[in-house]
Structure 1
Amino acid sequence: MIKVNEVTKKYGEKIGNFKINLNINDGEVYGILGPNGAGKTTLIRQIMGFIKPDSGVILINDLNPWDKSKEIMEYTGYVAGEISLYEDLKGIEYLKMIFKFRKNLDWSYVEKLILHFELDTNQKIKKMSKGMKQKIALIAATMIKPKILILDEPTSGLDPVMKNQFNELILKMKSSKDTTIIICSHIFEEITKLCDKVGFIKDGKLIEELEIKNADITKLEKHFKKLYVKESVL
């Protein structure tokens, strides 16, 4: 479903992405893990077609996202790392606006998502907490029952209960095998609970890729923590 071949987007000596290769299968949940500033969001933005790679090729469902963004977005849900919503609208007004822009949606499913996240949609968005705004973004991204769902730090601002609700939703989507999901995070526990496979990015490079299934999670966690830690300069 998603192929990334030798993709480079360079902003500095160690800033950007450098010759990244990924193959994400149809229906797979893929985690992109790494410290802040590692280049995860740069990769996501290229996959979404928001920025053009300096070199290399990205294909989503055999389409180039830079050239065919409109077609790809018809079946893609996306939550940005820094969400931006129409602040003067009420939550319900915003969701109804998104609903009208999309095709063949079921409003009863939107209502189920609102209940699932226990969201009061009658408040104006500008008066909502960060966590409430994050819920709005998650509902807007998943209400279309996307073929592809791309989430950049999706649980930012959510309390532990709502993080569990998020996990429940993703696991349900995972079990259906109808959606290919990318979750970009710096939180190890989030990735291991939800993903089939994880790629670790550091200094703009994909330095390791591992299957989560049947892995010893304790050993895996220790291994990834070593990748996070830089050598002491003291």
Structure 2
Amino acid sequence: MEPTRFLTALREEQQKLSERVIEQDGGLQVERVAGVDAGYDGNTMHIVAVSIDAKDLALTEIIAVKRQAEFPYIPTYLAYREFPGIEAAVRRLKRRPDVLLIDGHGRLHPALFGVACYVGVRLDLPTVGVAKHPLVGRVRPRTRSPSRASPVEFRGQVRGYAWTPPGRERPIYVSIGHRISLERALEVVRGSTLRGYPEPLRLADRIGREMKRNKE
């Protein structure tokens, strides 16, 4: 298929699947929070899933997966490249997490369907997108809130939050992935962060970097 038509077909699929995203959590009880991060060594993906206890943030499980990327890197189509590895890592966790944090965007995406949404819908898991850089949207001025979070508007609605964690100068961007409300998503991210970035994602990134260095 011609490249432009191929990407158009994928965008249409994203827009269709975005209608399946559930933006409510139904009284979700969160005891275990996991985070998944993908690092690269050329075309080799190092996918790491880290699970922590939601109360004391103690590390409970680590799963590392190495595999070849079969889809090229194309901005805003990250899910098609990373989902196979993410799925493999998450399914190997002994205990299914109550919430899964994804290093990437959720609703703060041109199709309202970033990698966090894709993973959530495909795995039927509550997911939250957490990203270091904005992709779409306009950040509103921050209110006098102890959370230090500023709403991010996109297409006339608040789709996420820009939140500056302790020990970090620039904000991170939090958005709904699937089966969670935006306020609860921010609550989970804040509750799993000590300094700089949510613990499961920080640990997953660190372990992934070690894998790359050690070529294991």
Normalising by structure 2, report the TM-score. Answer: 0.32
Higher strand residue share: 2
- Which one has the bigger helix percentage? 1
Bigger relative CO (Cα 8 Å, ≥ 6 apart): 1
Rg larger for: 1
